Chain A
């Protein structure tokens, strides 16, 4: 649910719950976006990341 939904009310519980969800999804989304974009750029440049053990 977003603040522009008609059901939204500006109350603390709603802001904490939904804010927490967006915060977590934001970190996950930003992290994956960074990884995908960097991988595309590195692949286009022919760079090979080192292996992890």
Chain B
């Protein structure tokens, strides 16, 4: 039915199967949209946020998806600026994942501000003394960059590509992509960093406070570094999941191995610095502010030393060692385990830097303030996941996301969809366009 839209030389599932999948994920999306509308029409009383938790589940989700979406800017930097040309085979997917992550972050913020009609105030009535203003500026501008990086991919759809203007526009955007990629890397450096800086400058919260360089606390650099380190691991994890769902190989091993190795060394260097930062904070900074390490990890039912171990060792040291070790990295089971642990590690880091900061008592008469999200918060946090799955499904079906797919999966049978997709093949048939 839609075979004229499917990229040349590749095979897709039947339409009914595609629509069934869309319907199932669409039901989850509808649940999230319902919760979102409740928050917009009834207000933030739909959440469990309170005087302790001005930042809650949504801000954690924001910080986590922004870190995980870091694969887009870092892969772009590696390909367009540093010249790792092999990454052209995975850069499309990295851009798509980044686009989903950043649009999700903006959607969550639109819910979180409670009154989205006033969202533009942050640009016009900017508080230029706030790191969050820098985050809002860079986040919005970088989303524009990601959109620009995603547009050529849409224009390379078989039917759109036949329109001369779209074909030339796509070509021109590819030609100038290095400029956009460099702008994206610049913007990412600052908004990733400022998200960390927001926590690091909280001198009234010894759990988060860090010393630093000039106006930037160490968390500024650690957040940027961790996004560049763990983002590619997330891209590779989603690629692996997509391959499993599609039932075929989509990216060659040498490309996966290269990005996994880079991610591994980035995580390795990050975790060394993070361990040094944690040690200094635990033994010098926090005691200097009147609190001990035990104050942060005892006396409550949830936050124990386990979370420190899970973030730094399980989610940092272990994936780093796996990914920098060639024999382990080349085994898929180990590699995927490292990706999962890495994603868990960076998500936990964002969790503690947002939520544990709020939970820790800071006054002698204070108690631990634990927080449980309302179902509306949970639904609106799952909403972007459903949206992301739908966008990946549609993009995978109709756009040449994986340039190596046709080469890795030559069409053997003569099924109707495959045959129809082949009928318009040209003598200079190419697998797909990057």
Q: Could you tell me which A residues sit within 8 Å of B by CB distance? A: 1, 5, 7, 11, 13-14, 16-18, 20-21, 24-25, 27-28, 31-32, 34-36, 38-40, 42-43, 46-53
A27 and B133 within 8 A (CB):
no
A21 and B141 within 8 A (CB):
yes
Interface of B is mostly: helix
Counting contact residues on chain B (CB < 8 A from A), the size range is: 35 or more
Residues of A within 8 A of B171 (CB): 39, 49-52
User: Contact mask B164-175 → A, CB, 8 Å, 1/0?
Assistant: 111111111111
A52 to B169, CA, bound (A): 12
B168 in complex: contacting residue of A7, A21, A49, CB < 8 Å: A49
Q: Could you tell me which B residues sit within 8 Å of A by CB distance? A: 88, 123-126, 128-129, 133-134, 137-138, 141, 144-145, 148, 164-176, 179-180, 183, 186-187, 403, 430, 433-434
A42 in complex: contacting residue of B128, B133, B168, CB < 8 Å: B168
Residues of A within 8 A of B179 (CB): 27, 31
Across chains A and B, the number of contacting residue pairs, with CB separation under 8 Å, is 94
Q: How far is the CB of B137 from chain A (nearest CB, A)?
A: 5
B187 and A24 within 8 A (CB):
yes
A46 to B138, CA, bound (A): 38
A35 and B164 within 8 A (CB):
no
Q: How far is the CB of A42 from chain B (nearest CB, A)?
A: 4
A26 to B417, CA, bound (A): 45
A43 and B168 within 8 A (CB):
yes
Residues of A within 8 A of B180 (CB): 28, 31
Residues of B within 8 A of A48 (CB): 164, 167-168
Residues of A within 8 A of B167 (CB): 43, 48-49
A41 to B410, CA, bound (A): 38
A46 to B128, CA, bound (A): 48
